[in-house]
Structure 1
Amino acid sequence: MLDTLTVSHGAVALGIGMLVGLERERKKGRNEDHAAAGLRTFAITALLGYVSMLLAGAMLVGVASLGLVLMLCMHYRKHADKDPEVTSEIALLLVLTLGALSLDEPELATAAGVVLTVLLALQRELHHFVLQQLSEQELRDGLMLLTVALVVLPLTPDRFLGPYNVLNPRTICTLVVLLMTVGAVGHVAMRLMGPRYGLPLSAIASGFASGSATIALLAHEARRQEVAVRALAAAAVLSNLASITQFALVLFIIDPRLVRPFATSIGLGALVTVVYGVLLLAPWRAPSGGAAAHQGDGAFSLWTALIITIALTGIVLFSAFLLEHLGHGGVSIAAFVSGLGDAHAAIASVASLVVAGRLEMVDLVVPGMMALTGNTLSKCLLALSNGGLRFARYLLPAQAIILGAMWLGLLMR
């Protein structure tokens, strides 16, 4: 039955075929590809997949795919003397499948079509990156990261174990993967943009996952390189933007009214973070001896990730030990101790008590700031222990000024 939905999904299938076909047609026009398929072929193939799925379902799509494979084999045999490039042929089969998928899942089909087009368009760049830019060590690191993230992590049990029932193997493994990913992202950012601009961007992004882990990893990198300490410290300072933003988001998600008492503190903290980070980065000055990653460097250090994970896990255990003996009578003390491990979990717990009516809104302010204070202390200790005095002399004053500005915001509200 022909209706608006059927026509719109058919238009999606046609659009996917034309999008991929346009890219292939341009390659043919520049004589960069020996494929026979172009704009019309890809558009017709996408419609073939859609109509086959509409008329008879997956069975007819399978028959159409088999027929397309036979046609491609005949074309291959006829042009056996040419370069045996199979990219366009595989793309043609995928477009047929995406055309069929457009009937029930047009959004997924569109996303896959866009990704396919991007991969086809970046042929030269990808080849250059793999052959000229990617080192053997970076390749091994990437395979290790994928193995841990896709094989080890899903098999790790997701339950609380150990003393005080606070250790979750899945959470610990996730933190290791996060640290490895942060190291890899920072390495790529340094390769592409240099340490001055690449590191701050990657630090802010990774700060949303774990600000303490990000600072610890940057501190370790500063100790290892010794020539980009200022740039690494600037990135560590700017990672506080993620922590402050996440602090506000946690409160807003629980209850938007809870953000109001902290509005001035959040604004001052973010402003001081940006100003201090930019002054430390000093983009108007010529860069000194760079620390851009070279091909001999690895993307990350597994041992560093493990050591930082053990340190953060120890903080969690220490917090649980203190809370077990202090009890929950002192909310501010409990928030400070919890903030040593995770400020956002601590503030979420206190905010939940306010929403539940067990605390007044005014009782949220001091515990919330105490959680940030504990987290700041944890960051300072990690920076000093992992980066030494050369790194800490930049970061510790910044953390103190940012925290002081946020406490000052309480007096100004």
Structure 2
Amino acid sequence: MTETQEILLRLAAAALGGLAVGIEREWSARRDADHSRFGGVRTFLLLGLAGGLAAAVGREDPRIGLVVLAGAAALVVVAYLVSAWKGTIDATTEVAAVVVLGAGLLAGTGRLVLASAVFALTALVLAEKGRMHAAVERIQSAELEAGARFAVLALVVLPLLPAEPWGPYGGIEPRRLWILVLIFAGLSFAGYIALRVAGPERGYGLAGLLGGVVSSTAVTLNFARESRGHESLARALGLGALAASTILPVRVLVLSGALNLEVARALAPAVLPALVAGAGAVALALRSRDRSATREEVLPGNPLRLGAAIQMTLLFVAVLLVLAAVRDRFGSAGLLGTSALLGLTDLDALTYSMSKLAASGTPAATAARALLIGMISNTLFKAALALALGAPAFRRVCLTGLAVFGAALGAGLLLI
């Protein structure tokens, strides 16, 4: 390809990108009957082309390119000032024009993939105006505050933490521990949003499935208690608890994969029988369509659950030290016994700890076996909760399903 052909290709990409955005802006103006809006198909096509020309000319003399770019940008600013003088305060079209100008500049410098992505994203954002505004209107103050806190924790606090391990056995890595806090808090937030979007109208089965992303033990506890006061819903609540338990192996598998891929590979075949066994319970739960519950009954009060995440961080330190000491003293057998005890209450801590130990020398198969034993003990604990707190119908459904699920987990031990 000659130099002239290459320049023409870049200019064509810049012009076509501007054309795509211009089509959306002109269509939107006609839909809204806004005849005073700045720019349409031709204007945006020319703005993209102007950006491409500025880059092309700037190769010979950067000053000329800057003049072209500054002139086009000045026209956009003047257009906005005129609109503001007329009482129009929506600057979306003018801002889109600036973005098109910049993307045209990228195309002119040869960054065609990046420029195309910017053009496409700009057109999508403009076209999805209605859905974006509707989504913002549904956001509650607690969710907005939780999102802002999460951003601060991820973008401000995390970079300040040291990455070097310290302490006995080198088991404390502040930055890695904080990443786990963010993962758990993010899982809680995602589960909260999923519950809000789906709602309980699809039944307690779907609510339990989504709630299991946050905590299957908490779902079992809450549903067991609720079944005492709502005997007619006890069966649906039991199916919801089973759905929450079915999602547990997926959560452990995803978390272990994010921390140590070798552990996840060893664990995946072992949890497959449990997932297959739980699929029937999930299918039945999703068919249970009780619409008498309100959204507030299944939504956790705190979307982020940051306090719980920080408490888990403190627990991780102790867990790492205990498991490291057990491994040194008793070997793999002691490690598996400790995993059974820890799995009763905190599989997240166990998952992190096993992934960490596997990275420091423990065989991945041993770590996967420990995680499976922890899931079995956690299933037994939830069965005890159902037996002690659930209504008779809840106990029948939940205990039967958990027995099959636990047996499938036990069979998975033979696959490691």
Q: TM-score range by the shorter chain?
A: 0.7 to 0.9
Please tell me whether residue 67 in structure 1 is matched to residue 71 in structure 2.
Answer: yes
The answer for the alignment partner of 1:45 in structure 2 is: 47
Structure 1, 78-87 or 398-407: larger mean CA deviation: 398-407
State the percentage of identical aligned residues: 22
Q: Partner of 2:185 in structure 1?
A: 180
Matched, 1:300 2:304: yes
d(CA) in 2 for partners of 1:218, 1:64: 62
Q: 1:239 aligns with which of 217, 237, 247?
A: 247
Residue 239 to residue 324, structure 1, CA distance change in 2 (3 Å): same
Secondary structure of 2:293 counterpart? coil
- In structure 2, the partner of 1:290 is 294
CA gap of 1:410–1:191, structure 2 versus 1, over 3 A, is closer
Q: Aligned letter for 2:373? A: T
Q: Distance in 2 between matches of 1:412 and 1:324?
A: 26
Q: 1:317 to 1:70 in 2, by over 3 A?
A: same
CA contact (8 A) 1:186 1:202 kept: yes
Change (3 A) 1:404 1:333: farther
Give the number of aligned pairs: 387
Give the whole-Å Cα distance in 2 for the aligned partners of 1:253 and 1:298: 31
Per the alignment, residue 134 of structure 1 pairs with 139
Farther-moved stretch of structure 1 (180-189 vs 400-409): 400-409
> Aligned ranges for residues 14-413 of structure 1 at < 5 Å?
14-31=15-32, 33=34, 34-57=36-59, 62-79=66-83, 80-102=85-107, 103-130=109-136, 132-195=137-200, 196=202, 214-215=215-216, 233-234=241-242, 236-240=244-248, 242-243=250-251, 246=254, 263=269, 265-279=270-284, 281-292=285-296, 298-327=302-331, 330=332, 333-334=334-335, 337=338, 341-343=349-351, 346=354, 368-377=368-377, 401-408=404-411
When residues 371 and 38 of structure 1 are mapped into structure 2, their CA distance, relative to the original with a 3 A threshold, is: same
* Partner residue, 1:210: none
Q: Distance in 2 between matches of 1:378 and 1:277?
A: 19
Superposition deviation, residue 6 in structure 1: 5.0
Deviates more, 1:38-47 or 1:400-409: 400-409
Of 96-105 and 56-65, the range deviating more from structure 2 = 56-65
The offset of 1:369, in angstroms, is 3.2
Per the TM alignment, residue 39 of structure 1 is displaced from its structure 2 partner at its CA by: 1.9
Q: Which amino acid aligns with 2:102?
A: T
Alpha-carbon displacement from aligned partner over 1:58-84 (angstroms, at most 9, x marks no partner): 755543342123213433454422412
Asked whether the 8 Å contact 2:22–2:45 carries over to 1, the reply is yes
Cα pair 2:339 2:370 within 8 Å, conserved: no
Letter paired with 2:245:
V
* Closer, same or farther: CA 285–241 of 1 in aligned 2, 3 Å: same
Contact 1:135 1:296 in 2 (8 A): no
Alpha-carbon separation, structure 2, partners of 1:272 and 1:382: 17
Alpha-carbon contact 2:25-2:41 (below 8 Å) kept: yes
Please report the TM-score for the alignment, with normalisation by the length of structure 1. Answer: 0.73
Asked whether the 8 Å contact 2:15–2:48 carries over to 1, the reply is: yes
Change in Cα spacing, 1:349 to 1:162, as seen in structure 2 (3 Å) is closer
- Secondary structure of 1:239's counterpart equals helix
Report the AA paired with residue 124 of structure 2.
Answer: V
RMSD: 4.6
**Distance (whole Å) between structure 1 residues aligned to residue 372 and residue 49 of structure 2:** 57
Letter in 2 for 1:377: S
Match for 1:108: what amino acid?
Answer: L
- After alignment, is 50-59 or 141-150 more displaced? 50-59
Distance 1:133 1:95 in 2: 30
